[in-house]
Amino acid sequence: MKLAGLSPFRLPGHYAVWRDGWVQLWLWDEQQRQRLAEAQQAASGCLCLPETLLQAPPAATPEPSVRLVSVQDGVDLQVWRAGVLRASVFQDGLPLSATAWQAVRGVPGVRLPERLEEEVPACLERPWASGASLVGRDWERWLPYGLAATLLAGSAFNLTQGAQWWWAERGLAGQQVALAQQVEPVLAARTRAMQAESEIQALLRLQDAPSQVELLRTVAGLLPEDSRLLSWRFRENALELLIQTSRADPRFFVQRLQEGGRFQDVRVEPSPRGDGLQLAMNIRQGE
């Protein structure tokens, strides 16, 4: 892993500061810096120092804090935590771009304020931290390993979380299978009980239902003496008769059958063939 891979510039310049186990790394376009140095006739080999190191840092807080700092040629959106600069995004003016806000949102635990005032920190006579480049470049050899370790730690955390979720889902699936196996006999027994109850009710209805011989005897006792039964049809709870009689008043049959027998909904009408009267009725239940 190289610093060039961390920078969007073709020829990146960098400056690093170690603080409390964190490396604070600034990256810039080295070609643009060289052009500015040539235009200003700066001495060759001069040190390029981030302007942030010459500004008074904010008070250390355990929670991330966001501030907008005015610098010489623009503004710098910063995130600080426990005295360490966690993120810094330079922009040549306001308003801040979506890219700048997105970079700040990537800091864990950061909360963006609803309103952000531009600050002008006090200038320092000397940097508040020394750059690693002033005491040697050994840190450049270890920086890729540190960044790689950070990425691996994050990947390991994600893998651990994924494994925990997998085991939890597997355990839940096992519990569901066990519960289904326990409930299945209960549901089967309930189904059999309901089916048995339905069969018992059907048998009771058959037991309570009168026989056709009994119905025929009851009807014969209610019809006029000159009645002659031509046809008989009994289906479920309904009875249909075709009789031949000299009585043609339907009201007589309706009143006689409904009041004197175990019938209801009696209907009387002439036969379509003109050979008698058609009587249709329902059997009363529970009588």
Q: What is the pLDDT of residues 203-212, one digit of tens each?
A: 666 555 567 7
Please state which of the ranges 64-78, 128-142, 157-171, 218-232 shows the lowest mean pLDDT.
Answer: 128-142
Q: Does pTM top 0.85 for this prediction?
A: no
**Domain ranges, ordered by start, for the chain:** 3-136, 212-283
Provide mean pLDDT across the span 42-55: 73
Measured CA to CA, the distance from residue 34 to residue 48 in angstroms comes to 10
DSSP assignment string, 35-58: HHHHHTTPPTT-----GGGGBPPP
Tens-place pLDDT, residues 13-37: 777 887 777 777 777 777 877 787 7
pLDDT for 280: 92
pLDDT for 21: 72
As a whole number of angstroms, the longest Cα–Cα distance in the chain is 142
Tens-place pLDDT, residues 54-65: 888 888 888 888
Instruction: Kindly indicate whether the domain formed by 212-283 is annotated with CATH number 3.30.1360.100.
Output: yes
Q: Residue 176: how many CA atoms within 13 Å on its side-chain side? A: 6
Evaluate whether 224 touches 256 at the Cβ level (below 8 Å): no
| pLDDT over 50 at 78, yes or no | yes
